[in-house]
Structure 1
Amino acid sequence: MAGIRNYWMNIFMLPISAVHEIDRLCRSFLWGEKNNRSKFHCSSWSQVSLPKAMGGLGFKEGCLWNKVLLAKYLWALSSKQDVLWVKWIDGVYLKGKSIWDYHLKSDVSWYWRKICYLRESFFLARIWRLRLLMKEQVGFAKAVWSSITVPRHRFILWQAVVGHLLTRDNLARFHIEVGSVACPWVIWKNWLNGKPKSVMHRIYLSCLAASVYHIWCNRNMCYFSQVSYTPYSLVKMIKRTIKIRLQGRFSQKDLSKNCNLYDFVQLL
């Protein structure tokens, strides 16, 4: 859906109601929905909309992203690019003037009117770009979003790293009664800092993500259903998940070329 939205946002200024509805559907897909509202979550939409390198999920904030995408037309007109439609606009409307000095008339097409209205938003787009450049990149992005890791495990690991996983201490911050707020989470962020240096390093991080995911699921079973897996069963599930993932990501030929990878898979 986001891809379809971006395609039309490259062409038109979509109605605000449609943009807000698409954003609502994206939030419902991300967090789940109950009674036509997103389920409880700690992450704000502004953080989710940040690039992954800056600690977000890479979603785009609808209204602002629409203006940013259309601002490229203003840039093309401002720089007088050697494009047919720019030459046509310059000959029919601008008459050799700059787009910034043009005074909008009443007898112009609705599309040209929309582009002219974007001149104020063009500076907003530049501010948005500067805001991103000023924001520091996080050190865990490459480790959390490794392509070897199962997508669902990446999402849970991201929430754990940024401190937004729905653990008891986080729920207590919102005055939700959960009994004891003690949660057996350890600080292992230092393991995720920096870019993974090898395939085996990425696999180890994938094992970490799988461990966090399965322990999280087992913790929820303990709290809500009073049922728990044994440590042996948990380890077996984690090993099976990693083995299936690696066999799907690497062919037998790739495994035979990398002795360490082949031995690791055989041990699972």
Structure 2
Amino acid sequence: MLELTATLAIVGTLLSGAAMAQPAKHTIVLVQGAFADASSWNGVLARLQAAGYATVAVANPLRGVSTDARYVSDVVASIAGPVVLVGHSYGGQVISNAAKGHDNVKSLVYVAAFAPDAGESAADLAGRFPGGTLGEALSPPVRLSGGADLSIDQAKFRNQFAHDVPAEMGALMAAGQRPIAEAALTEKSGDPAWKLLPSYFVYGDGDKNIPAKALAFMAERAGSRRTTVVAGASHVVMVSQPKAVADVIVEAATRHP
């Protein structure tokens, strides 16, 4: 009986050690872009959490590239263990700058997102390729001290930004959109982290904010490990096609421990 007890104790210790040796899953940090908010990740978050990932949907301030990148960088610095940084739209420029200096950031995922090179801005890239119609969908700028805020006209929001989500959801998204400082879209990027880290891209070829040709160009330039193009999907592909986006994020996490 004593021998059996001792054997069970040894087996229990070995199993416990094996469990402890399993690497921790990545924390997925998601950064929304202009005209969206953190709730735009909800469908993706539900899938990531069900798969056992810790998740943080950052409330991107949308004030300027350097300011926003510093904010996201501070969030990353507070996380112990490996991180996948995910950016939507303008949030792609933010993660490209925020990842620098953090050894725990293992990969980057660009969701219908800008991936500028040093000295480029979101406005530069959006205007380099034909097909974008954001300019004609914007409301008149709201003038603020030291600048202006931009938002999409609510009557034009769904057609421009989210044509593939239900009308009721589109109306809610339009009302809850986060404006972006005009200067954020023209601020130049620093040297981007995609030159050092493995990057993944997912976007819809029905995007009206960032032309699909621009997104394809940025993915190729960044040496994307996998580029997923969702047929007909809008700029908010993470809302309309959350599984496709979550699948790319999981791949980015599992391939780069």
Choose 1 or 2 for highest CA Rg. 1
TM-score normalised by L of structure 1: 0.24
TM-score normalised by L of structure 2: 0.24
**Which structure shows the higher strand fraction?**
2
Identify the structure with bigger relative contact order (alpha carbons < 8 Å, sequence gap 6+). 2
